[in-house]
Chain A
Amino acid sequence: MKRTTIAAAAFGLALAGVASAQNEQFVPANFYWVGPYAPGGSGFGGGIIDYMQMLNERDGGINGVRLTWEKCETEYNNARGVECYERTKKHPPTGATVIHPLSTGITYSLIEKATADKIPVISMGYGRTSAADGRVFPYVFPLITTYWSQATVMVKYMGQKMGGMDKWKGKKLVIVYHDSAYGKEPIPVLTDMAKQYGYELTTIAVPHPGNEQQAQWLQIRQLKPDWVILWGWGVMNPTALKAAAKIAYPREKIVGVWWSGAEEDVLPAGSAAKGYISAGFNAPGSDFPVMKDIKKYVYDKGKGEFEDKARFGSIYHTRGVVAGIVTVEAIRNAQAKFGKGKPITGEQMRWGIEHINIDDKRLKELGATGLMPTLKVSCLDHEGSGLVKFQQWDGAKWKVISDWMEPDRKLVRDKVEADAAQYAKEKGLTPRDCSKEAM
């Protein structure tokens, strides 16, 4: 009896604690800390939480509105991801501000639900590419850069290395991909570019989880391609690099997608990974001013997300920080429009994201020059940048080896609009007229 009373009182107190805190902005942290993809989920999640924590400590939140979050374990599983979304979407005071699903599958499952609930989904560097057409997907934001943009930049980069795009004629390109929706996403773009530049494209699928790839790499040995694109995820990446080393395929000729380009992807391969190149939309490192602030205000006070300090400034960590920066900038925009110092709703957040404009000057103020590319989102363009950098593994750390590179915007945009139009037709949607949107 007594115990129940105490428990009830404690529970009541906890509820009261939540209810009284009105000047808060809630951002769900639905990531994954267990399972085969935990390095990605915990790294990215750690980055975004660290950034929000730093803002709370350094500035006392955004114009006095403190950021709050709650972790929910999705296990990189669509069903659990939807459950987490439903659990967090009504969280006080204004419901979920924005969702980072951190899984292409979960993003797909949330597109309709979140649109109906008016909660923006930011799928930064993953998710449905054609959501870049904001007229058809008002609440979905594949920010910074999409898989299709990335594929065009990869082909461009390889062309540059060969001495010009005309050198592609008659060359052989192989893509080794994770056999899932994620892995198949770039193939239509690569096929189109093959027609344009005259290279021969071979697609080789690796079944999930990808810890057995001898057959695939034997095929590559026979083909002798000029370049290999590695479109992997999780354990598939180091396995591929080891298999490449076994057939002595030069690692300098393998270019990975950004989900194949973290420390966790190359370290298990040991020396086999040396020279391997990957794309990225964020740079690793702990010397950026924003990272120094996180160190000073969060880690030095013992509030950091990582117990293992070696992960500080790793690729996944800084990627999470970039996600945090984007989220916070959008909240700032929305506050400037709908009331400074007040929590905003999902609908207002959408306005905020559509008016993100992070130029070089703003990047400098944020202390993130070089960490991420410039970003300008609009109602029409939910990608906002498309810029990609390349980095090379030198055996101990990732070294950035290129400047921000432009994608083939026209090719990507045409395909995006075609795909979005087909989606709109299937669903019977009328695309928004962006010229009539409130500025």
Chain B
Amino acid sequence: MLYREAGQFRSTYAEDQQIFPIRQDRIAMAALLVVAFVAVPLFGDQYWLSAILTPFLILALAALGLNILTGYAGQLSLGTAAFMGIGAFMAYNAMLRVPHMPILGGFIVGGLSAAAVGIVFGLPSLRIKGFYLAVATLACQFFVLWALNRVGWFSNYSSSGVISAQQIQLFGYPIVTPEAKYLLTLGVVVVMALAAKNLMRSETGRAFMAVRDMDVAASVIGIPMMKTKLLAFAISSFYCGVAGALYAYTYLGTVEPEAFTLDLSFRVLFMIIIGGVGSILGSFLGAAFITLFPIFLNLASKWLEHALGIEMSHAVVSNTEAMIFGALIILFLIVEPNGLARLWQITKEKLRLWPFPH
């Protein structure tokens, strides 16, 4: 009833090809952006902004990066965290060594450095596929962490290998408060998500998908394998690199190489598997599920204890949370193997017919 496209006519190609062809979607998206940019910083408290929403956005950006590579171009990667690490450390070095470096410039340097390393470690993808490629990117994960730990230059010869993000400013406005950090993160993520969406609708995106679906057929119809695969690695690593820089500058403030271990790579991979492989929306849904759900479970168990007046051993509660979380992941994958984004799509299709399904 509410979600009905009757009466909406498209008379030009531009209208037909826009990102949200249905008016209700456009309104919903605009409302969401207004809420995110205006209402949340105005009314959200510090805990929500700095401990929940900012990390969620950053990990969603990393998941988006991996989704471009794995979901759209079909190349499996376990090096996401390494690319994030490069982004963080190179952004730090750019800010440290180049005088008057603007923060966005630092993020771009971080992203480009990650892209360069991504291209190098993407080279094996020209010969190998699937799990074998995953192993090659695993090498990248270990090599990068090793280098960040061993080469003193990366951390400006800090004895413990820890870097501490500098004070940042955007157009002369200092980014100190959680609100400002959140808005900066949100701005970067929105712009990059829009760019990704458009990229995937362009010729490049279609080439990625052709390679994913069948690379032999793609090369037969004239898609250059080397260029396409390496471009996918470069773009994906760029996204991850910027996410890593945000992780250091707007979230933790101080990072050590150990923040970017294989563990984080797997978490980002789970995000896209649960959110939806090959979907921009899926990256956000997956990131929300993986980062927010454990915290929600943790809070919920406290409310339960309060409401029911029982006291449980904390170790039991913590372990139960981990078990519930694992069980839910399995449940979701059984119910909808294509991820949360697919669930959302089904809901939308049902809504279009509601309340008179045929």
Stretch of A19-27, A78-86, A320-328, A337-345 on the interface side: A78-86
Query: Would A426 and B47 be within 8 Å (CB), given that A11-B306, A108-B256, A112-B254 are in contact?
Result: no
Bound complex: CA A89 to CA B45 (Å): 12
A181 touches B161 (CB 8 A): yes
A406 on the B face (CB < 8 A): no
Which residues of A370-395 are within 8 A (CB) of B?
none
For residue B11, CB closer than 8 A to chain A, the reply is no
Instruction: State whether B259 touches A33 (Cβ < 8 A).
Output: no
In the complex the two chains form, what is the Cα distance from A71 to B321 in whole Å? 14
The interface centre, meaning the residue of A42, A86, A419 with most chain B CB atoms within 10 A of its CB, is A86
Distance in angstroms between the alpha carbons of A427 and B344 in the assembled complex: 46
Q: Which residues of A contact B170 (CB under 8 A)?
A: none
Give the residue of A42, A90, A111, A427 whose beta carbon is less than 8 angstroms from that of B47.
A90
Tell whether, in the assembled complex, residue A11 and residue B315 are in contact, meaning their CB atoms are under 8 Å apart. no
- Of B50-58, B101-109, B217-225, B350-358, which stretch is located at the interface? B50-58
Please tell me if B319 contacts chain A, counting CB pairs below 8 Å.
yes
Judge whether A109 and B303 touch: CB under 8 Å: no
The CA of A42 and the CA of B298, in the complex, are separated in Å by: 17
**A96 nearest CB across to chain B (Å):** 12
Smallest distance from the beta carbon of A416 to chain B beta carbons, Å?
11
A179, closest chain B residue (CB): B149
- The A43-98 residues at the B interface (CB cut-off 8 A) are 70-73, 78-79, 82-83, 85-87, 89-90
Q: Which of A183-191, A238-246, A251-259, A260-268 lies at the interface with chain B?
A: A183-191
* CB of A7 closer than 8 Å to a CB of B: yes
Q: Does A165 contact B (CB under 8 A)?
A: no
Q: List 5 A-B pairs, Cβ < 8 Å.
A: A42-B315, A180-B161, A180-B256, A181-B258, A184-B161
Residues of B within 8 A of A42 (CB): 315
Instruction: Spell out A's residues near B (CB within 8 Å).
Output: 7, 10-11, 14, 33-34, 38, 42, 70-73, 78-79, 82-83, 85-87, 89-90, 104-105, 108-109, 111-113, 116, 128, 179-182, 184-185, 187-188, 205, 208, 307, 419, 423, 426-428
Residues of A within 8 Å of B167, CB to CB, are 427-428
Q: Do A105 and B258 touch (CB < 8 A)?
A: yes
**Chain A residues positioned under 8 Å from B259 (CB to CB):** 78-79, 105
In the assembled complex, which residues on chain A have CB atoms less than 8 Å from the CB atom of B315?
Answer: 33-34, 38, 42
Which of B52, B96, B167, B254 has most chain A Cβ within 10 Å? B254
Distance, CA A38 to CA B322, complexed state (A): 14
With both chains docked as a complex, state the minimum distance between the C-beta of B172 and any C-beta of chain A, in angstroms. Answer: 16
How far, in angstroms, from A30 to B251 measured CA to CA in the complex? 19
- B46 near A: Cβ within 8 Å? yes
Among the interface residues A10, A109, A113, A205, which one has the most CB atoms of the partner chain B within 10 A?
A: A109
Q: Supply 17 further A-B pairs (C-beta < 8 A) apart from A38-B315, A90-B47.
A: A14-B306, A33-B314, A79-B259, A82-B50, A82-B51, A105-B256, A108-B164, A108-B256, A111-B164, A111-B253, A111-B254, A112-B254, A113-B253, A181-B160, A184-B160, A419-B159, A427-B167
Output the nearest chain A residue to B247 by Cβ-Cβ distance: A79
Shortest beta-carbon distance from A85 to chain B in Å: 8
**CB–CB B306/A184 < 8 A:** no
Closest chain-B Cβ to A15's Cβ sits at a distance in Å of 9
Known A109-B253, A109-B254, A112-B253; judge A86-B159 contact (CB<8 A): no
Interface residues of B in 252-268 (CB under 8 A from A): 252-259, 261
Q: Output the nearest chain B residue to A423 by Cβ-Cβ distance.
A: B164
Say whether A86 contacts B50, CB under 8 Å.
yes
Contact mask B33-64 → A, CB, 8 Å, 1/0?
Answer: 00000000000011100111001000000000
User: Is there a chain A Cβ closer than 8 Å to B295's Cβ?
Assistant: yes
Picked from A71, A90, A181, A427, the residue with its CB within 8 Å of the CB of B256 is: A181
Given A10-B307, A71-B314, A73-B298, A180–B164 Cβ distance below 8 Å?
A: no
Question: Closest approach, in angstroms, between the C-beta of A121 and any C-beta of chain B?
Answer: 12
| A299 CB → nearest B CB, Å | 15
A375: shortest Cβ distance to chain B, in Å? 24
Distance in angstroms between the alpha carbons of A88 and B261 in the assembled complex: 27
Is residue B198 contacting chain A, with contact meaning CB distance below 8 A?
no
A83 near B52: Cβ-Cβ < 8 Å:
yes
- Determine how close the nearest CB of chain A comes to the CB of B268; give it in whole angstroms: 13
B313: interface (CB < 8 Å): yes
Q: Which A residues are CB-close (under 8 A) to B252?
A: 78-79, 82, 109
Please tell me if B318 contacts chain A, counting CB pairs below 8 Å: yes
Identify A10's interface contact among B253, B306, B313, B314, CB under 8 A: B306
CB closest residue in chain B, given A116: B176
Q: Give the chain A neighbours of B255 by CB distance below 8 A.
A: 78, 109
User: Which residue of A has the minimal Cβ distance to B267?
Assistant: A79
Given contacts A7-B307, A14-B306, A14-B307, contact A307 B162 (CB under 8 A): no
Taking a contact as CB atoms under 8 Å apart, the answer to whether B159 and A184 are in contact is: yes
- B166 interface residue (CB < 8 Å to A): yes
| Chain B 291-308 interface 0/1 with A at a Cβ cutoff of 8 Å (1 = within) | 000010010001100110
Q: Determine the chain B residues whose CB is within 8 A of the CB of A182 once the complex forms.
A: 160
With A83-B52, A90-B47 in contact, do A426 and B164 touch (Cβ < 8 Å)? yes
